[in-house]
Structure 1
Amino acid sequence: MRRSQEAANADIDIEDKGQSPKAAVVIASKPRKTSSRNAAGGKAAKPSWFATVGGKVGAGFFLIAGYLTLSLVLARYWPDGWNFLVTPGFFLGRSFAWAAFYLPLWCFLAGMLAVFPRFYPRLTYLLVSSVLPFLVAAGFARISSEPGAFFENHPVFAAVGLSSLYAGLGFLFAAALVAVVFGFVKLTAWMKATGRLVDAKALKSKSKEKKSKLAEMKTWIRQWLKDRREKRSQAEIRLRTAESIAAKPFDLDLPELPPLSGLRAGRA
Structure 2
Amino acid sequence: MNDSMSRFSVKGKTALVTGASRGIGAEIAMNLAQAGAEVLITARHHYDLTQVCEKIRSFGSKCEAIEADLVSINGAEEVAQKSFEHFSTIDILVNNAGTVKVAPFWETTVEDWDQMQAVNLRAPFILSKILSEPMRAQKQGKIINISSVAGIAALSGHAAYSASKGGLNLLTKVMAAELGPFNIQCNAVAPTVILTELGQKVWGSPEKGEPMKDKIPLHRFGKPLEVADLVLYLASPASDMMTGQVIALDGGYTAL
TM-score by length of 1: 0.23
Q: Point out the structure with the larger strand share.
A: 2
Pick 1 or 2: higher relative contact order, CA cutoff 8 A, min separation 6: 2
Q: Point out the structure with the larger helix share.
A: 1
Find the structure with the greater CA-based Rg: 1
